[in-house]
C-alpha cells in the first residue's frame, strides 16, 4: 500500500472511531496511532537518502505521466515532467511573457523576418556528460519533429502557410543554427526557440532500427518502463527514480549549463512528484507532506483559514491558461470494416447545430461556477485566455450562451425534436435522446461538472450516462475515436494563439471533435468529412501566422473565436482561477497563471525551518 493510500486509510479509521462504542475506541485509537506514525514516516518531507539529507521540494500530480519521450507526449502531466528535465533554445518568462535565452545565448533575426540564427552557449552538455552541439538541434528538428514517420503534435504548429511547408534548419558551425521560412511566420521565434532539444547520440539509432512488427525503435524508447539512467536530458534536473502510481524523483543535473557557470543553479537538489488524487493532495499538504499544491476552489476556502498557522501562502494567478469543455464526437467516418465510429443516429444529433446550441443554453454554468468552483472562477467563452492580447471579449461582440432551458427546448423543437408525455426528448424517428459522457476519474471538478451536466440536460429531456475512467483509459478511447461526448480540457501556458493549431487545424493530431486520418494510419478510416466552418478556421490560422501587424492579427483571431462560439465544437464551461498553495520556506517563487509555480525552478531556494 502506498503512502497516499495510507492517508486515505488514516482518515477512514478516524471517522469510524467517532461512531463506534466507547469500549472499542481504545483499540481503534491504537490503530490510528500506528497509522499516524506510518504517515509520518511516509511524509515526503522526510523522504531522504540513507546517506545524506538534501534540499528537496515536493509537489503532486493526480496521474502518472504517459511517457518520458517528449515528441510522443499527449498528457499535461508529462509536460510538467519535461519542464524539469528539458530545455529549448529559448524560454518564456512566466511573468512578462517575453522570450529569453536558454540553451542559446543569443539570436539574430533577419530584416525580412524569414531567418533566425541561434548561437548556442559554449560548453553545453547532456545529462550523461556528452557535448550538446548544433548537430543535436538539427537532428531534433529534421529527424524527429519534422519526421513524417513520428506522429507528434508539435509538427502541426510548425506548418507554415497554406502549403503547410516547414521551416528549414541547417548547421552553420558547431554552435550556430539557422532557421529559415519561405514566408512570414509570426510565432517563428517562439516556436523555433521553445521546442525541447533531444540527444542525437542516444536517439539516432532508434530511428534506423525497427522491431519485429516493423515499428521504429523510437516508439518504445523512453516509455514508462525505461531505466531513468537511460533518459538523457539537458534541463536543470534529471530523473532518478520512477515508482508507478507512487512518485517520480528528480535530482539536480550536474551538467546543466547554469550548474557549471558558477551560480550552482538549480539550488534545490531534489524534486519529488507524488502521484495522488486531488483529495489526498489536500490532506497531504495540510499535514506537511507537500511543499506546494495546485489547490482547487474547495481546498482554497479551507486552506485560507490555515494560511498563517501553516506557514504557507495562497497565490491567485488569475484565470487558468486552460480550457474546460463539453465536446461531442462529430466524426462521421467509418473504420476499415465500414462501421461508423459514432452511431449514425446519434451522429446526426451531434452534427445538428441547433442540438449543440441547445446544450449550451441548457447547462447552468453560473451554478457550476458557484458550486463546483466556489465562485473562484469565470464563465468561459473562448479557447483563448482572457489575459491574452488576442482575446475577444463578450462586451466587444463575442457570442455567449446564458442558462436558458426554455430557449434550449425551443431550439430543439424547431430542429425537429419532440417531447413525449413523460417530458423525454425524442428525435425525428422517435428515438430517445440518450448518450454517454466520458470523464476522467482523477479530477473532482470534472466529475462534479459532468454530474451537473447530466442533471441539467435531464431538465430538457435528455438522458446522459456518465462513463468514469482513469485518464489513460480516457485517452485510449479518444485516440480510438471510441466515444460520444466527454468533459475534457486543454492546458497551454502560452500567449500565442497559434499554439493551439494542432487542436483547430482540421488535420491536427488534437482535433479531437472530428479526428481525421493520422499519418500512416493502418488500416485507414473511410468517409471522413470536414465542414465548411472547419475549413474557414484552417484559413484563419494560416492568415494569422502570415500577418505580422499585431492589430490585424488580433482581428483574425477574433473572427476565429466568433466561429467557435457560433458552431460550438467545444461548449466551454467554467475557467477556474489558477490557485497555488506554497510553503513560505520556498523563496523566489514567482507564481503566475502563465508560468505556473515552477517556470523559474532553477532560481527557487529553500530556507529550512
Class of residue 113 by CB neighbours under 10 A (exposed 0-12, middle 13-18, buried 19+): middle
Cell of 297: 476552489
Spatial CA neighbour of 62 closest among 272, 277, 296, 322: 277
- Give the per-residue pLDDT at 269: 95
Helices (H), 329-415: 344-350, 353-362, 365-371, 405-414
Backbone angles phi, psi at 58, to 5 degrees: -125, 125
Q: Measure the CA–CA gap between 79 and 86, rounded to whole angstroms.
A: 10
**523 prior amide bond cis, ω within 30:** yes
Matching residue, cell 423525454: 424
Coil vs helix vs strand at 316 = strand
Q: Which residues of the chain are under the pLDDT cut of 50?
A: 1-2, 4-52
Helices (runs of H) and strands (runs of E) counted in the chain: 18, 23
Spatial CA neighbour of 455 closest among 515, 398, 372: 372
Q: Let me know the angle formed at the C-alpha of 273 by 224 and 151, rounded to the nearest 5 degrees.
A: 35
Instruction: Calculate the alpha carbon distances from 440 to 200, 444, 445 in Å.
Output: 36, 9, 10
Q: Let me know the angle formed at the C-alpha of 471 by 469 and 474, rounded to the nearest 5 degrees.
A: 60
> Which positions ≥6 away from 240 have C-beta within 8 Å?
228, 249, 250, 251, 270
- Give the per-residue pLDDT at 49: 42
- The DSSP secondary-structure symbol of 411 reads H
Q: Are strands 168-171 and 176-180 parallel, antiparallel or unpaired?
A: antiparallel
- The answer to whether 108 and 96 have CB atoms below 8 angstroms apart is no
Q: Are strands 485-491 and 322-328 parallel, antiparallel or unpaired?
A: antiparallel
- Give the per-residue pLDDT at 24: 42
| Residue 375, Ramachandran bin (φ over 0: left; ψ between -120 and 50: alpha; else beta) | left
Q: Measure the CA–CA gap between 340 and 302, rounded to whole angstroms.
A: 48
Calculate helix-pair angle for 278-286, 3-19, nearest 10 degrees: 80
Cell of 262: 558558477
Helices (H), 418-549: 444-458, 471-479, 501-504, 532-546
**Which residues are bridge partners to 582 per DSSP?**
292, 313
Spatial CA neighbour of 564 closest among 368, 357, 396, 386: 357
**Within 10 Å of residue 585's Cβ, how many Cβ atoms?**
14
> Which positions ≥6 away from 84 have C-beta within 8 Å?
235, 236, 237, 250, 271, 598, 601
Spatial CA neighbour of 572 closest among 415, 466, 470, 453: 453
Class of residue 145 by CB neighbours under 10 A (exposed 0-12, middle 13-18, buried 19+): buried
Cell of 248: 517520480
Instruction: Calculate the alpha carbon distances from 309 to 286, 305, 313, 316 in Å.
Output: 11, 9, 10, 19
Coil vs helix vs strand at 242 = strand
Q: What is the mean pLDDT of the chain?
A: 89
Class of residue 523 by CB neighbours under 10 A (exposed 0-12, middle 13-18, buried 19+): exposed
Element housing 240 (H / E)? strand 237-243
Instruction: Calculate the alpha carbon distances from 523 to 67, 220, 336, 338, 483 in Å.
Output: 25, 21, 6, 11, 19
pTM score of the predicted model:
0.78
Spatial CA neighbour of 443 closest among 514, 481, 495, 491: 491
Amino acid at each position: 500500500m502506498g503512502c497516499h493510500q495510507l492517508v486515505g486509510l488514516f482518515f477512514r479509521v478516524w471517522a469510524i472511531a467517532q461512531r463506534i462504542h466507547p469500549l472499542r475506541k481504545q483499540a481503534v485509537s491504537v490503530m490510528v496511532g500506528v497509522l499516524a506514525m506510518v504517515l509520518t514516516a511516509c511524509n515526503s518531507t522526510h523522504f531522504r537518502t540513507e546517506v545524506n539529507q538534501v534540499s528537496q521540494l515536493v509537489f503532486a500530480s493526480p496521474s502518472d505521466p504517459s511517457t518520458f519521450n517528449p515528441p510522443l507526449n499527449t498528457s499535461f502531466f508529462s509536460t510538467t515532467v519535461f519542464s524539469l528535465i528539458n530545455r529549448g533554445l529559448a524560454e518564456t518568462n512566466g511573468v512578462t511573457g517575453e522570450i529569453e535565452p536558454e540553451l542559446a545565448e543569443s539570436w539574430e533575426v533577419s530584416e525580412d523576418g524569414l531567418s533566425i540564427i541561434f548561437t548556442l552557449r559554449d560548453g553545453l552538455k547532456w545529462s550523461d556528460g556528452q557535448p550538446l552541439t548544433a548537430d543535436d538541434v538539427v537532428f531534433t528538428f529534421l529527424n524527429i519533429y519534422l519526421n513524417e514517420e513520428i506522429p507528434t503534435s508539435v509538427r502541426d504548429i510548425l506548418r507554415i502557410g497554406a502549403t503547410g511547408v516547414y521551416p528549414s534548419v541547417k548547421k552553420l558551425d558547431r554552435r550556430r543554427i539557422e532557421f529559415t521560412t519561405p514566408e512570414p511566420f509570426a510565432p517563428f521565434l517562439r516556436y523555433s526557440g521553445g521546442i525541447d532539444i533531444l540527444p542525437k547520440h542516444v536517439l539516432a539509432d532508434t530511428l534506423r532500427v525497427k522491431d519485429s512488427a516493423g515499428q521504429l525503435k523510437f516508439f518504445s524508447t523512453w516509455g514508462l518502463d525505461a531505466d531513468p539512467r537511460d533518459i538523457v536530458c539537458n534541463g536543470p534536473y534529471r530523473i532518478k527514480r520512477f515508482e508507478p502510481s507512487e512518485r517520480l524523483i528528480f535530482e539536480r543535473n550536474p551538467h546543466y549549463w547554469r550548474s557549471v557557470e558558477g551560480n550552482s543553479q538549480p539550488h534545490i537538489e531534489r524534486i519529488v512528484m507524488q502521484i495522488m488524487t486531488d483529495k489526498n493532495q489536500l490532506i497531504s499538504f495540510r499535514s506537511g507532506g507537500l511543499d506546494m499544491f495546485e489547490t482547487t476552489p474547495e481546498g482554497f476556502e479551507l486552506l485560507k483559514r490555515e494560511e498563517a498557522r501553516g506557514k504557507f501562502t495562497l497565490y491567485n494567478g488569475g484565470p487558468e491558461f486552460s480550457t474546460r469543455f463539453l465536446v461531442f464526437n462529430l466524426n462521421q467516418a467509418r473504420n476499415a470494416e465500414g462501421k461508423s465510429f459514432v452511431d449514425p443516429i446519434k451522429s446526426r444529433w451531434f452534427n445538428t447545430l441547433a442540438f449543440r446550441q441547445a446544450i449550451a443554453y441548457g447547462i447552468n454554468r453560473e451554478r457550476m461556477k458557484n458550486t463546483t468552483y466556489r465562485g473562484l472562477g469565470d464563465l468561459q467563452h473562448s479557447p483563448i485566455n482572457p489575459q491574452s492580447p488576442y482575446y475577444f471579449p463578450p462586451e466587444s461582440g463575442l457570442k455567449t450562451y446564458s442558462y436558458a432551458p426554455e430557449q434550449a427546448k425551443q431550439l430543439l423543437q424547431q430542429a425537429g425534436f419532440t417531447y413525449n408525455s413523460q417530458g423525454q426528448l425524442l428525435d425525428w424517428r422517435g428515438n430517445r435522446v440518450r448518450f454517454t459522457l466520458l470523464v476522467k476519474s482523477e479530477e473532482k471538478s470534472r466529475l462534479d461538472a459532468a454530474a451537473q451536466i447530466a442533471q441539467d440536460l435531464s431538465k430538457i429531456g435528455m438522458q446522459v450516462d456518465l462513463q468514469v475512467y482513469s485518464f489513460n483509459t480516457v485517452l485510449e478511447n479518444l485516440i480510438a475515436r471510441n466515444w460520444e461526448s466527454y468533459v475534457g480540457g486543454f492546458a497551454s501556458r502560452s500567449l500565442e494563439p497559434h499554439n493551439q493549431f494542432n487542436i483547430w487545424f482540421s488535420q491536427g493530431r488534437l482535433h479531437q471533435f472530428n479526428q481525421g486520418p493520422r499519418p500512416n494510419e493502418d488500416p485507414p478510416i473511410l468517409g471522413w468529412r470536414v465542414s465548411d466552418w472547419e475549413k474557414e478556421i484552417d484559413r484563419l490560422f494560416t492568415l494569422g501566422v502570415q500577418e505580422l501587424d499585431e492589430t490585424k492579427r488580433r482581428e483574425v483571431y477574433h473572427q476565429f473565436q466568433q466561429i467557435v462560439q457560433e458552431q460550438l465544437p467545444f461548449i466551454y464551461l467554467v475557467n477556474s482561477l489558477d490557485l497555488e498553495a506554497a510553503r513560505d520556506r520556498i523563496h523566489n517563487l514567482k507564481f503566475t497563471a502563465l508560468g505556473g509555480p515552477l517556470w523559474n525552478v532553477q532560481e527557487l531556494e529553500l530556507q529550512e525551518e
